[in-house]
Amino acid sequence: MAAYLSPPAVIHGENAVETQQILAEVRDRHPQAPWLSRIDGIAASTGIDTRGWMLPLDAAVAPGGGSGLRSTGVGPARAALIRDGFSEQDVDRAIAALEAIPAQQTVQERTAPAWEAVQAYGERAARGALQIAGLDTSDVDCLITSNSTTPALPGLDVALANRLPLRDDTLLLPATQWACIAGTRSLALAADLVAADPDRVVLVVIAEALSTTYQPADDTLESLIVRLLFADTAVAAVVTGRPRPESVLRLDASWHHTLPGTRDLHKLDTRETGTHFVMDRRGPRAVQETVIAMWEWLRSRHEGDADPWHPDLLLAHPGGTRVLEYMEQTMPEGWPTDVLEYSRDSYTSGNRGGAAVFDILRRAHDAGQESGSRTVLYAAAPGLTATAVEGEWL
């Protein structure tokens, strides 16, 4: 399977959103929420003080362009009030009061600016990755893209093909719904593509505006957690079938796993007000099952090795620090205790979804890694599905 990866480019959301800003907004909007007294402790448990968004917090909490009468219209509302016996004067007062109520943003109002940002950030990441790899847009034979929170048709693949621009015979492979596994699964797919043609150059671009799941009107405890967790990031990297001077990691094997009957545990739900991320508290335990399956895959791959095998680095995005703790507790005996160091570091500034593994990889690269360091990249996503890739630093 051997494929070669150049260092990824990582573009963080440039609008810093502090946890205290989010908590202040929540307190102001939901003063009667039964969980309000707990929010400081919940926020502290995430370990996140600041996260970067492509758009500022004000863009997420601003009212929509319409009014409280947007869904029904003035005419039907007036007719209904008159039928119920209200005087013309009372009807006028009621209509004026309803028109003064700010409406929530529509899907279009919320998503359109985020989609523009996703394209712009994706282009910056793509150009950065090509520069790092010492390549030009004309060298790209295949483009793999992923973005799960800003659906569009044509998608990010076609947008980047025009914006960069790419050759007109470049193979475009969009994977909008990969979500959190986009980093690992895109590398596994890229490795398969270059195995079929070692001269092929594959560019991977993942751009996630996860802040679009911030829904101010939602008053559930789960919605509070979603508000606190997500960050916006665009990442990109080049995969080739032959080593290049810029290559830093060799990819040797991949593994995929899907748990049946778990598709409703975590999901995106598109409503009138936009994209809502729905979490089930059973989710982390289900993700743990994929971790156990990955341990078994690694054990079977290396059971014939002369010396006991273990990774020097585990670059993991299982969805949160709770599952990272579980991974530490269930690691095979004799594994280093600090293999998840860079994964933990990434989470301190937010959950980056599909971009997370590339962000973790970049942190490991910038810290400096010895040639031959054994590495496993792992991620789990709504579905529940997981992908891992094993390799070594060059």
Q: What is the pLDDT along the chain (394 residues), one digit of tens a residue?
A: 799 999 999 999 999 999 999 999 999 999 999 999 999 999 999 999 999 999 999 998 887 766 555 555 566 766 766 776 777 777 667 666 655 566 777 778 888 999 999 999 999 999 999 999 999 999 999 999 999 988 889 999 999 999 999 999 999 999 988 999 999 999 999 999 999 999 999 999 999 999 999 999 888 888 899 999 999 999 999 999 999 999 999 999 999 999 998 888 777 777 777 777 877 777 678 888 999 999 999 999 998 887 889 999 999 999 888 889 999 999 988 899 899 999 999 999 999 999 999 999 999 999 999 999 999 999 999 989 999 999 999 9
CATH of 3-62+106-240, one of 3.30.750.24, 3.20.20.60, 3.30.540.10, 3.40.47.10: 3.40.47.10
**Which among 153, 134, 132, 197 is positioned nearest to 171, based on CA atoms?**
197
* Domain 249-393 CATH assignment equals 3.40.47.10: yes
pLDDT at 37: 94
Identify the pLDDT of residue 154. 95
Distance CA 320, CA 140 (A): 34
The whole-angstrom separation of Cα 36 and Cα 42 is 10
199: tokens are 């001269």
Distance from C-alpha of 357 to C-alpha of 373, rounded to nearest angstrom: 17
Residue tagged 């219209």 (tokens): 73
Q: Report pLDDT for 342.
A: 97
Going by C-alpha positions, the residue among 375, 378, 373, 376 that lies closest to residue 394 is 373
In the chain, ranges of CATH 3.40.47.10 domains: 3-62+106-240, 249-393
